[in-house]
Structure formats: structure tokens, C-alpha cells
Structure 1
Amino acid sequence: MQSSTFWPPKSSSSPLAVLISGGLDSAVLLAEAASVYPRVQPLYIRVGSVWEGIEEHYCRDFLGKLNRTNVSPLHVLEMPVTDLYGKHWSLTGEAVPDEKSPDEAVLLPGRNVILLSKALIYCHLNGIPEVAMAPLEANPFPDATPEFFQAMAQTVSMAVGGNLRILTPYSGLHKVDVVRRGQTYPLSLTFSCINPVGTKHCGRCNKCAERQKGFQEANVPDPTEYHAL
């Protein structure tokens, strides 16, 4: 796994795919990758979450504002989970974890298995040897460990007869670190909310609280428009 200490690399001759959600972490990761890699392919996975329409809109705006010729148009992959999650809060918008809830409350079971399985196969089919994503140090879930990412890459590589790699260069960082790294990028065009009100961050969910704390700790003005604080 790539360490944040050595990210982004000084140079690269290979293309890179980046799993981008539109949130702070993956947006900054992609922007940093675009400064080095000859081609960066943003991948967005639609699973059916209630916030996806707004999130994808922000994602496209961020990429447009970034305006890098080596960044390919956003490619969307469909991976619906309604038949798995049923009436989960992420699909219904009901009983969404608020700012007082622990990080464990926002668990989306097997999320990285779902995202990476299709992303890695896309990479194999399109001649992209690596996919990067942006889990942070504080991620408490079992599908965000170095052991998981190594096993996932090996399993899909075996399945397709390839040699795919997963990069997680922010795995030793916290939100405050990402805000500091990304403050020169258009962070107002990133979206972190799991309970949006119209096109605005709600200001009260678990992810909004994490976002607010990141800006506060970084001592960087928060450009986000919240529905309520």
C-alpha cells in the first residue's frame, strides 16, 4: 500500500483509476494524483444511496473546476444494493446517524467489497494497473485494513488473470490532514453529507460533523453551505 509520506509519487508512466465519491478525501486524492499521473480515470460507483444524485453533481463540478486535461471524464459504474440492504438508512433516508453517533453507526456492510470488485475489473479491462481510494486512519471497519486491500487485489487479479493493485495513500491521515493538503483545491465543490437538504449539507449528520471538525482543526475557513448548524 502506498504511504501518504510518498504520495503522490514523483513521477509515473502508468494510468491510474481513482474511486471518487465527491467527498473531501477522494477529491483531494484525485487532484494530487492529477499532478503526476499521465492519465487519471475517475470512477463513481452508484449503489442507490439517497445522497448519490447530489454527491455526483458535486463530483462533476469539482472535476470541471479542476480542469486537468489528463483527467478523463467521470465514468459511472452501477452496483445497486437494494436487494442486499433492504430498508437500510442509506437507502431510505430514515434514522440517519447524527452528529452524536459513533463512526460505527455509519457502517455500510461490505462497502469496499462492493466498490472495488467492479472497479478492479473495469481497470483490468481498460489497461489500468492501479486503483486508488481514500480511507483514513480513523476508519474503523474491517474492509478498510491493509490486509483486506491486499487480499482483495490478489483475489480479483487471480479471477481475471491480471496483476491489479489498490493504493490507499491516506490510510495514515485524519480529516484535518486532508483539509490542509487540499486547501488550494475547490473544496466548496466537495460533498460529505449523508442526509442532504435540497442541494445543501444538512449540517447535523455524522459526516457533516466530521467535515466541520476537519476544517476547524485545520484552521482553514469552511466554504461549505450547511442547511443548519
Structure 2
Amino acid sequence: MRADGARGTSAAVLLSGGLDSAVLLSEMRRGHDRIHPLYIRGGLRWEEAELAAARAFVAAIGGPGLEPLTVLEEPVRDVYGDHWSTGSGGVPGAETPDEAVYLPGRNVLLTAKAAVWCRLRGVSELALGSLGSNPFPDSTPGFYRDLESVLGRAMGGSPRLTRPFDRLSKAEVVWAGRDLPLHLTFSCLMPVAGLHCGSCNKCAERREGFRQSGVADRTPYATSNASPRVGHAG
């Protein structure tokens, strides 16, 4: 499997530190001469661990054409207020459906910030790790087509927004990245001393992705508790 793109081009990858964007980052190197990993910090409760994972993964895969991780700021704590994502109360557990972790407007904010960065530096493509199983209204093909059009009008041209994994499941992404240091990636809503908590919605999704793919899960979890997923597996 190859991420789309032509030789001799540069692209940016919106990197969260999680499985999907990490595997995408590696895949994108096959079709481009230069890849810029971008992490956007918003002030959410898991970001310290997530950013550390993103840095570790970029350092581990290294190699020609992979630029250093760029960290951009997009504060959202004042927007979300007292919310589980900002540290107020518990987070959606392993038994909750994917819709429980929806953060309104987050993809608009992240994509717009990254697109402006690309436009000002002549980077013609911005790749996102959105999967086919993503149930959110701001993750559909139509949404990204419209957003690309709006950004192009706003800036007199914009990077092309691509989603190379938009037909894949979590398990297929894990399989595609089976030779990568996936244990360095991070996808947890409530880290415990820098580890995956093992009991939140995202930890359950992660475990299920490894289970379905048949790839050994080397992730260090703070607890071995696991509950069945509800809703969109993958």
C-alpha cells in the first residue's frame, strides 16, 4: 500500500501521536521527497503524553526526507470549558461508542491551522489519518472537499487535503504498520504516569485494532482491564 503523491514533492502530515497518523507518516515517505510532521497542541488532558509519543516515534523512524516535528499551538480549553477533554471529570470508558469521544469543531481547527502553515511554506499537500470507520460529521469525504475549497478561497490557494486511509479500518492500519515501532504511539484519553490507562474508549479501540489485525500489542498499559467495544470497531 502506498500513500498517494508524486516523487519530488513535499507534504505535511497532521500527526497526533496515535496509530493512524503515525503509520500514515511512515507511508507518506514512499511518495514524497520531504515530509513535515505537524503536531497541534490545544491544552487537552492527554497531550503531554501524546506529544512525547509523537516525538519518540518521529525520532525512531527517522531517515532522509523526514523533517523534525513541528509543534503548533491552537488553545481550545477556553472553548470547551469544563469538559472531560480538559480534565473535568472522568473520560468515556471502554464500553462507550466512538461517538462518545466527539469534540465539536476539532477537525476544523486542526486542519485550518495546519493548512495555513502549509500555505505559507509552499507545502502543497496536507495528509490526515482519518479512517473509513470514523463516524463523525467532520470526517466525511464531503466535509474535507468543502473545507479544502473554503481554505483555497480564503488563502488564494491551499494545500490539497488527502486522506490516504479513508477506506481502511483500525486493524488494517495496524497491519500496515506491523514492522514499525507501534508501541511508541499513543492513543489514550486519561494517561497514568505517561502510560495508556487501559480502560478508556481509545485504549479499547487500540486493543481491538491489534486483536483484529493479529499483530502483537506491545503497548504498556497501566491496567489490564479491557471491556468489549460498542459501536464502530476498527
Bucket of the pairwise TM-score, normalised by the shorter protein: over 0.9
3-state SS of the aligned residue for 1:166? strand
The alignment partner of 1:77 has SS state of strand
Aligned residue type for 1:94: G
* % identical equivalent positions: 46
Alpha-carbon RMSD across the aligned residues, in angstroms, is: 1.2
Deviation of 1:224 after TM superposition, in Å, equals 0.3
Match of 2:162 in 1: 167
Q: Confirm whether residue 195 of structure 1 aligns to residue 190 of structure 2.
A: yes
Query: In structure 2, which of residues 114, 119, 122 is the aligned counterpart of residue 124 of structure 1?
Result: 119
| Aligned-partner Cα distance in 2 for 1:180–1:224 | 15
Structure 1: distance between partners of 2:161 and 2:5:
18
Distance in 2, matches of 1:56 and 1:93, equals 21
Matched residue of 2:161: which SS? strand
Deviations 1:53-104 (A, max 9, x none): 1110011010101012211111111000122100111001522000001111
Is structure 2 residue 147 aligned with structure 1 residue 152? Answer: yes
Distance 1:80 1:10 in 2: 31
Q: How many residues get paired?
A: 224
Match of 1:219 among 205, 214, 234: 214
Superposed CA offset, 1:181-223 (max 9, x none)? 0000110110011111011100000000000001111111101
Letter of the aligned partner of 2:187 in structure 1? Answer: S
Preserved CA contact (<8 Å) 1:131 1:165: yes
Of 130, 136, 140, 1:141 maps to: 136
Paired with 1:39 and 1:13, the residues of 2 have a C-alpha distance of: 8
Gaps of 5+ in 2: 225-234
SS of match in other structure, 1:45: strand
Structure 1 unpaired stretches of 5+: none
Residues 158-203 of structure 1, C-alpha deviation per residue, up to 9 Å, x if partnerless? 1110142100111111110001000001101100111110111000
SS of the aligned residue for 2:164 comes to coil
TM-score by length of 2: 0.93
Give distance in 1, aligned partners of 2:149 and 2:132.
23
**Map of 1:66-145 to 2, 5 A cutoff?**
66-92=61-87, 94-145=89-140
